[in-house]
């Protein structure tokens, strides 16, 4: 008697069924503006003219520092990459553009020479929550990317946005020093972050975050997403009163697996905070205090 056998069908794993892209929540739009200052032309101006221009700019910067819907801050850059860096937090890209236009309208802007800029948006990555949510929805038989799936995801994200509002829409930390750098996750023939299963990426990011949390009392970190907005994938702002903590934190993170294997870093910018009230001293050649 001839019998037929049904071929064994290997069931799909959950990770094969669920999407690979982690969920994120977003807050303030962020713009970094790096520029040189035309010192020679500035010093050639009469003292009275310099004073009037400085007062106009200090008044405008003071208002931008105190905005309730996203602030601005000025930093005096250390090194050859520029003289000044302005950081803007705003509710939208249109508001960032308005901040640019407002600065361009100041007489002081005639002495600015842009060297670089970086556009991004404050981002909280939800790797652990993503895996949990995806598995729960899949277990309920909800089809990925269906209308029901999207509604459930949005409901979860809305709760997270509400709970994390202070982190998504923070004030610019008042610390004396800022370190900013962009970064990518490695993509290459041997190592490609984006080919790892989402569960493995979640595990590695959890371990990575443990390093940063050990410095919670010394440094304030703000991560911004820039995929589709600028040349790198993320921007990192570190604020501290002692710049040595930047070296210690970033060096320790180099030994973490996700950084050691997959991280690529852009240029680093380190600056000293210049409050609007200290602009006159800065433009007179004094370190702001």
Is 111 within 8 Å of 37 (Cβ atoms)? yes
Per-residue pLDDT reduced to its tens digit, 159-215? 999 999 999 999 999 999 999 999 998 777 678 888 888 888 888 888 877 777 777
Secondary structure (DSSP) of 62-81: HHHHT-TT--EEEEEE-STT
Per-residue pLDDT reduced to its tens digit, 239-251? 999 999 999 999 9
Model confidence at 254, in pLDDT bands (50, 70, 90)?
A: confident
Per-residue pLDDT reduced to its tens digit, 50-67? 999 999 999 999 999 999
Per-residue pLDDT reduced to its tens digit, 15-42? 447 889 999 999 999 999 999 999 999 9
The CA-to-CA distance between both ends of the chain, in Å, stands at: 94
Active-site residues, by number, are 181
Q: Considering all CA atoms of the chain, what is the largest pairwise distance in Å, rounded to the nearest integer?
A: 108
User: Phi and psi of 147, rounded to 5°?
Assistant: -60, -40
Domains of the chain: 26-122+278-283 (3.30.70.1030)
User: Phi and psi of 125, rounded to 5°?
Assistant: -80, 140
Residue 204 Cα to chain centre, angstroms: 20
Return the pLDDT at 288.
86
What pTM did the predictor assign? Answer: 0.88
Is 262 within 8 Å of 186 (Cβ atoms)? yes
Task: Say yes or no to pLDDT of 6 above 90.
Answer: no
Task: Say yes or no to pLDDT of 13 above 50.
Answer: no
Q: Which residue has the higher pLDDT, 287 or 217?
A: 287
Q: In angstroms, rounded to a whole number, what is the distance separating the alpha carbons of residues 283 and 273?
A: 14
pLDDT mean over 218-229:
96
pLDDT mean over 266-289:
96
Task: Say yes or no to pLDDT of 9 above 70.
Answer: no
Name which of 15, 253, 236 is nearest 125 in CA terms: 236
Task: Say yes or no to pLDDT of 133 above 80.
Answer: yes
């Amino acid at each position: 008697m001839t019998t037929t056998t049904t071929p064994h069908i290997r069931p799909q794993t959950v990770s094969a069924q669920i999407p690979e892209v982690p969920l994120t929540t977003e807050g303030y739009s962020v713009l970094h503006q790096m520029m040189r200052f035309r010192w020679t032309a500035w010093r050639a101006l009469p003292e009275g003219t310099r004073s009037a221009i400085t007062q106009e700019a200090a008044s405008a910067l003071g208002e931008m520092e105190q905005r309730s819907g996203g602030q601005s801050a000025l930093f005096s850059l250390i090194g050859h990459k520029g003289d000044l860096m302005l950081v803007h937090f705003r509710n939208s890209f249109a508001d960032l553009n308005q901040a640019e236009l407002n600065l361009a309208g100041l007489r002081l802007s005639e002495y600015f020479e842009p060297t670089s800029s970086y556009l991004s948006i404050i981002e909280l990555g939800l790797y652990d929550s993503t895996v949990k949510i995806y598995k729960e929805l899949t277990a309920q038989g909800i089809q990925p990317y269906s209308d029901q799936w999207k509604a459930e995801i949005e409901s979860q994200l809305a709760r997270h946005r509400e709970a994390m509002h202070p982190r998504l829409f923070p004030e610019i930390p008042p610390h004396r020093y800022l370190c900013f750098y962009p970064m990518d996750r490695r993509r290459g023939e041997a190592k490609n972050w984006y080919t790892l299963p989402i569960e493995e990426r979640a595990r590695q990011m959890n371990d990575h975050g443990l390093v940063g949390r050990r410095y919670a009392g010394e440094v304030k970190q703000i991560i911004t997403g820039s995929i589709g907005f600028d040349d790198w994938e993320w921007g990192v702002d570190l604020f501290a009163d002692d710049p040595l903590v930047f070296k210690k934190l970033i060096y320790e993170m180099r030994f973490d697996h996700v950084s050691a294997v997959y991280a690529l870093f852009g240029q680093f910018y380190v600056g000293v905070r210049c409050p609007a009230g200290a602009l006159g001293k800065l433009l007179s050649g004094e370190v702001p205090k």
